[in-house]
Each structure stands twice: as structure tokens, then as C-alpha cells.
Chains A and B, each alone.
Chain A
């Protein structure tokens, strides 16, 4: 059930300057959150940023009562999390949004996870669910350069399949876009290699990936990124141009959306 959870920061792990994870004690949230869902986070006692910020829950361990977020510092909201002292409080409004779906996968199905940059954030929890369901999954993790792939160590032990790294500048893994790395392997020639694709990243990555999965006729779920004022359908700031109606409300009807619902030419 959606609630405003008062959570205490247990620890911060710095992967590199500006890239870190924060783990909060939030037992109810840890129990209820599903992969791909998010919270609206407010650091207690701060007026800047005034509005909360949306964060995908990266991982949740119900037994320990812990919820973890992967964060890249980009502005005052993420900087507040970077500065938050262990033992301090934040308010986590959630769970919000719909989450990824593992339902209806055929037996022995293999799935792909495609992540661009900080788009890796929601996937540790999804890999936990895929592992529990014994569904093999490959991770395609891409970024502009090696520095943007610093979260790769977070995935070292948890991907129930292979991991393919790529960078635009070739400084780590294959040189080129993550969508190309995915397309090279996903196109098996005899129908789609993957039964489902889960993706999160910037809009240009989504637009390119949407063309690939459409060509391969591969069912896909994209974790859309839109600036969210509230996270619960009141402000309507996060709408995305849609195909079947003018807009979809990302926070309520998403954030996980099939690419066919998004009017890419209007973005």
C-alpha cells in the first residue's frame, strides 16, 4: 500500500565521485516494492529542491528491511542524497508506478535487460526476481564512457546470464551504442532470441531500441524517464506523447510502458 515511509540512511557506498548507492532502513517498503516501481524521495528538513525527486528502487531485502537506490549526482536533489549523513532521515513515498512484468513468459524463455548509463538503477531488484523465477537473463550495460559504467560491479554476482558492456567511445567493452550491442545478439535470424526485453535509459536510447525490438517483434518493457512533479498523478507534468490517446501519464500508467504505446515521433 502506498505510504510515506520515514526511512533512516544506513549506509552509502561510493562507486566513484558522483556515483553512489544509498541504502535505507524501510521495512514496509522493502516488503512491498516490486521491480521497476519507484518512490518520491524527500530529504528531511531541506527546502531545496522543493519538490521530491523520483527514484527507482534498485534493490530491496525484505528480511533485512532495507531498500537501496543507485544514484548519479546531477543536481541539488541528488547532491542532497550524496551529503546525507548516515542515521539521517528521508521520506520515501511509495511504492509508486506499475513495475516490470514477468507474467506470461514461455518455459525456458530467456530475457534481456538493456541499460544506458544511470538507467541501470532499477535492475538489481529485477535480477533478484528473475533469479528466483529461474529465468535466464543477459545484461547489456552501456554508457558514453567507462566512467558511466561504474555500477557494473554492482551487477557482478547477480545477473543470471551474460553481461555485455559497451561504451560510445570504446573506453570499456564494445565500442558503440548499447542498442547496437543488443541488436547484434538479439537478431538470431529465426525469430527473436529473447522472449522479453526490459530497458531503462535516456530517450535517444529508447527511440533506437524501439526500432530494434519492433523489427525483431520482441515484446518489451521500457522504464520511461520523465520529470515528475508529484509521482501520483496530480500534476500531470510527466506525460509522454502516446499512440492510442494524446498522452500517457508516466507515473500512473507507467513508468514501465511497452514501446508501442509511445509516439516516438512526437518526443
Chain B
């Protein structure tokens, strides 16, 4: 999927007043994903969330390619990442997840910057900047020009990035993201080094996919008498037979 939907949302006040109570009533584990144009905006939203009941964690989106400023700007430079994360860290006691951009020039450096300045967990990856052009009219398919590419097309890229960050920062819990649709995708990300996964695009195709994969993973583990935690990083222990990231 190539999208330029951006970050449409109701805002933090309406989220706290309307959406969070509804999600809690459903028994959901809630993680708030936060984005701002400036460091001050990120901090203001995080402070507004600080005393919310029933929020499991806060995730910083520093990597959305569909907003004109902010967003990806913070994700593309380790210095900007470090500055933002340290300010947000000072503003909250919540578990802090930082969602990394695959468009960063050096993802491992960005990951290290986020970890060193207070991220508890890293989630990766957000969408890749992509473009589609109508072959007849030669106009971009998206009115924004470019958009974020997600779904199965990016899975091998995302698995490689999780593998690389897990190797470089073995003590940081990672959430793997990128094209997960079926159980084997979940197992692949766990093997690469993710302790958990997120599902985005596949929900649009099948709104029941997340619950189903949770059940399938439980059955998979029960059948083998193993725990999810023992599936994490298996590929790290086996190794690649080569250097991950090699282009040849």
C-alpha cells in the first residue's frame, strides 16, 4: 500500500475524553502514538497524556513521511532524534517507545541515539518513501506526490532492519513492523530479534487479523511446548552466513 493519508486524528483532548475510555471499555491494551511539528508540541502532548488512566505506553512517531515538517525530520538525524527523545523522556514516566524511520541515513545510529536518550523500546519500521506515477498521464498517483509504502512489499527490508538493530543493540526490546499478514511473518520478525510485532496495513484488508494471529501464535507455541520469548532472536544465534546489509 502506498498512502499519503498523513496523521489525521481527533487531537489529544478528544482522544482522552472519547477514544481512550471506549478502548478501555473493550479491554484493549492502549498505546498512544504521538506526533508534533516541534519538540514543544511533542512534549505538550506527552504531558497531556501523563496522568491518563489505562495507557500502557507512549510511542513517538518520528518517522511519518506524509507530513510536511516535523515527523520524519526528527527521525532522519540522530542528533535531532536524541534532542527530541531526551526532552520527551524528561516529561514522562510512561514506557517510551520510539518508532524509527527506515528512511534514516543510518538506522542503527538513529536507534542508538533513541536508546541513549531514554527510549525503553524501539519500534521499526515506519513506511518507506515511495512514489507511483500514472503511466498514461505521467501524474503522480498521490496528490502529495510521494507517499509511505507499507505491506508485504517491504517485509524483507523491515526484517533486515530489525535484524541489524537487534544485533547492534541486543539489550533493547524491539517491536517489529512491516508487512506482517500471516503467522509465518510474525515468526520471522521474532527470529530476527523483535520481542513483539505491530500490524498495520493487514488490518485494512482483514480487521480480524491481529486477534487471529495472537491465537495462532499461542497454538504454535503450545504445539511445540515453547514460549514466545524463546523464539525471539533465534536468527541472531544462528547467524547470517554473511554480513547483514551486504549488497552483493
User: How long is the Cα–Cα vector from A239 to B5 in the complex, in angstroms?
Assistant: 9
- Chain B residues near A93: list those with CB within 8 A: 207
Please, what's the 1-or-0 string for A224-242, where 1 marks a CB less than 8 Å from any CB in chain B? 0000011010111101000
Contact (Cβ within 8 A) B205 A42: yes
Cβ-defined contact, B203 with A237, below 8 A: no
Instruction: State which residues 188-221 of A face B: CB under 8 Å.
Output: none
**CB neighbors of A among B78-95 (8 A):** none
* Total A-B pairs, Cβ < 8 A: 38
B204 touches A247 (CB 8 A): no
Report whether A229 and B204 are in contact in the complex, using a CB–CB cutoff of 8 Å.
yes
Tell whether, in the assembled complex, residue B204 and residue A230 are in contact, meaning their CB atoms are under 8 Å apart: yes
**How many Å lie between the Cα of A42 and that of B206 in the bound state?**
9
Given contacts A236-B8, A239-B8, A247-B8, contact A50 B203 (CB under 8 A): no
Also in contact, A237 and B3, with CB within 8 A (given A4-B208, A230-B203, A232-B207): yes
Shortest B143–chain A CB gap in Å is: 11
Query: Please, which residues of chain B bring their CB within 8 A of the CB of A247?
Result: 8
Chain A residues numbered 234-256 whose CB sits less than 8 Å from any CB in chain B = 234-237, 239, 247
Chain A residue nearest to B151 (CB atoms) is A50
Chain A residues engaging chain B, CB cutoff 8 angstroms: 4, 42, 47, 50-52, 93, 229-230, 232, 234-237, 239, 247
Provide a sorted-by-A list of 23 A–B residue pairs whose CB atoms are within 8 angstroms.
A42-B206, A47-B152, A50-B1, A50-B152, A50-B201, A51-B1, A51-B201, A52-B205, A93-B207, A229-B1, A229-B3, A229-B5, A230-B203, A230-B204, A230-B207, A232-B207, A234-B203, A235-B3, A235-B204, A236-B8, A237-B3, A237-B5, A247-B8
Instruction: Pick the 10 closest A-B CB pairs, nearest first.
Output: A230-B204, A236-B8, A229-B204, A235-B204, A237-B5, A51-B205, A236-B5, A50-B151, A51-B204, A52-B205
Q: Which residues of B contact A (CB under 8 A)?
A: 1, 3, 5, 8, 151-152, 201, 203-208
